[in-house]
Amino acid sequence: MVSLGAVIIPTAVSSPGKALNLYPSNEYEVLPNGSEAHWEVVERILFIYAKLNPGIAYVQGMNEIVGPIYYTFATDPSSQWKEHAEADTFFCFTNLMSENRDNFIKSLDDSQCGITCKMESVYSMLKERDLELHLKLEEQNIKPQYFTFRWLTLLLSQEFLLPDVIRIWDTLFSDKDRFHFLLLVCCAMLILIRDNLLSGDFTTNMRLLQDYPISDVHTILTKAKELQENC
């Protein structure tokens, strides 16, 4: 059983990358006998998943998807959720990966269900909704894989602070066509910084896209919903 008091789980996240930081290097507590650190629990979840799914195994980035799920259960005020955080996280992660696993299978990259097709779909959406911006990115040879690969495979978990990632996921998972909505969110993110992108050069624009400047996720989700309704 995990001792949730064994390691401090801060609400803040690390930077750069805005990735989840469950284990800050400057904050340690001695683990009581028989307890485990949170990283050991996450490691075990990923290990068991890899063993049960040899066709996928472990792919770099899966930990970024497990992190917010485990954090949500492990920090829940209800002791009931905390006690079963590992099992609940494994169940939720497995269900999520059953819908999202094609993004992590290299042999499917160039297929209709693979990650390459999904990255190109973001640009296709952008072309329909903002041709000028699409042409600008093409003119600068800014390919979708330069930034949307991380956005899509990690479900935006590295682009925003943890509370904002959870907010995005709440909206994403409540949508019946959640992964199509993720494409709309990515398209909305581009449109919301169109003025900066249209005026920037290649270097400036790559910096914007790889370190997204807008932190108000409500604005992003509202724009994505607007795009969805106007389809």
Q: What is the mean pLDDT of each run of 10 residues along the chain (231 residues)?
A: 34 40 52 76 95 90 94 86 90 93 72 83 96 97 95 95 95 92 97 97 97 96 94 71
H helices present in the chain, as ranges: 38-52, 62-74, 79-83, 85-100, 115-129, 131-139, 148-153, 162-174, 178-192, 194-199, 202-210, 217-229
Report the C-alpha gap between 45 and 223 in whole angstroms. Answer: 35
Residue 122 and residue 48 share a domain: no
Report the C-alpha gap between 144 and 137 in whole angstroms. Answer: 9
3-state secondary structure of 43: helix
User: What is the pLDDT at residue 18?
Assistant: 55
Q: What type of residue is 216?
A: D
Residue 146 and residue 61 share a domain: no
Residue 224 and residue 139 share a domain: yes
Residue 117 and residue 87 share a domain: no
Residue 147 and residue 64 share a domain: no
The total number of structural domains that make up the chain: 2
End position of a domain, from candidates 39, 71, 104: 104
Residue 87 and residue 182 share a domain: no
User: What is the pLDDT at residue 23?
Assistant: 45
User: What is the pLDDT at residue 30?
Assistant: 64
Q: What is the CATH number of the domain that holds 186?
A: 1.10.472.80
Residue 1 and residue 114 share a domain: no
Residue 168 and residue 116 share a domain: yes
Residue 32 and residue 96 share a domain: yes
Residue 86 and residue 73 share a domain: yes
Report the C-alpha gap between 209 and 222 in whole angstroms. Answer: 20
Distances 9 to 17, 26, 74, 88 between C-alpha atoms, Å: 18, 12, 9, 18
Report the C-alpha gap between 16 and 37 in whole angstroms. Answer: 24
Q: Which domain range does residue 185 map to?
A: 108-229
User: What is the pLDDT at residue 39?
Assistant: 87
Residue 11 and residue 83 share a domain: yes
CB 40: neighbour CB atoms within 10 A?
A: 15
Do residues 213 and 196 touch, judged by C-beta distance below 8 A? yes
Chain centroid to CA 179: how far? 12
End position of a domain, from candidates 104, 132, 165: 104
Residue 95 and residue 156 share a domain: no
User: Which of 229, 219, 216 minimizes the C-alpha distance to 175?
Assistant: 229
User: What is the pLDDT at residue 230?
Assistant: 86
End position of a domain, from candidates 85, 104, 123: 104
